[in-house]
Amino acid sequence: MDYYLYKLKFDGAVHFGQSESALSLYTTADHFRADTLFSALCHTALSLWGEDGVQALVKQAEADELLLSDSMPWRELAHEDVFYLPKPCAVSEKKREIPADLRKKMKRLLWIPVSDMGRFEQSIRGDALYKPKDEAFGIASERTSVSIAEGADATPYQVGSFRFYSDCGLYIIVGVRTEAQAERMDRLISALGMSGIGGKISSGYGSFFVKKRIDLRKASDAQTEWLHDALEKRDAKHQLLLTTSLPADDELEDALEGAQYQLVRRAGYVQSDTFAKSPVRKRTQMFMAAGAMLSRPFRGALYTVAQNERHAVVRYAKPMMLGVSF
């Protein structure tokens, strides 16, 4: 598998609905998950290449010829990129006294710089205390919009939005098998950036451009070299999950053995005129959140979450993992 890192710079506000919340319109996450990305790529493929383009993506994902990570934050610091990973769901191997303020910081911590993974590993082994920095990548707020239905009065409503700082954004990692796939993915992601990802894209939310694309086989710094090596480590003690995903039914028991993880609700609506004229609710599922620590890797699946006489709608649940030694 060849891995490519896409550094995305957002033009304005974004709305990434939190499907685990009943108030998903009024609140927003600061990143999007891989199932949202896959769905958006399928919509873009449909507009570029028709139904054949969508089926090609689905077949590649089913055959493990296409892997996607969740999006993760980056920051530019002194003209260098700092890439972050989800905090691993790992428990310290040794009991030690931790100051109350540090314990609170660790509880709130969501992201760890790639360059800090060694120090985090030391803290898990009980050899040192990991002291995280207070990190913020942007500002969340609420915007007032107006719904105007024909023959009715204008109705105001609130939309949760997030705006990245000028030196911050999100990155994704994409795994493919061939150069032709990589070139096609470049075109797909660039086209997706023009239309936007997430909610309220018709109102201008979620547009981005690819600021940098890194072939991780040709990594030129310590961070990207570490990422490439970890992506290839299939015999590591644990695998750190980078994709919010779910084992297939026949994998579930093995995958959960010795695993440390949190669950996240995945729901939402089908927004497609080719499926139905009005939005249709997708089947709700509980997924393992990125950051899970696994002793036994799994392949995952594409799950059918809505179906009618026109076609099925699938949710992406294939994992991308990093091999780690703690």
Structure tokens that stand for 287 in this block: 């997924």
The full set of domain ranges for the chain reads: 2-324
Nearest C-alpha neighbor of 45 from the set 57, 36, 53: 53
For residue 304, the Cα-to-chain-centroid distance in whole angstroms is 20
- Closest to 325 measured CA to CA, from 117, 131, 126, 127: 117
State residue 158's pLDDT score. Answer: 79
**Digits of tens for pLDDT over the chain (326 positions)?**
999 999 999 999 999 987 555 456 778 999 999 999 999 999 999 999 999 999 999 999 999 999 999 999 999 998 899 999 999 998 877 777 778 888 888 888 999 999 999 999 998 888 888 988 888 999 998 876 666 666 666 667 678 899 999 999 999 999 999 999 999 999 999 999 999 999 989 889 999 999 999 999 998 899 999 999 999 998 999 999 999 999 999 999 999 999 999 999 999 888 776 676 677 889 999 999 999 999 999 999 999 998 886 778 999 999 999 999 88
Q: Residue 167 to residues 8, 96, 170, 172, 326: CA-CA distances in angstroms? A: 11, 37, 11, 17, 31
pLDDT score at 172: 98
Distance of CA 35 to the CA centre of its chain: 8
With left for phi above 0 and alpha for psi between -120 and 50, is residue 112 left, alpha or beta? beta
Could you give the CA distance from residue 109 to residue 107 in angstroms, rounded to a whole number?
Answer: 6
55, two tokens: 């089926």
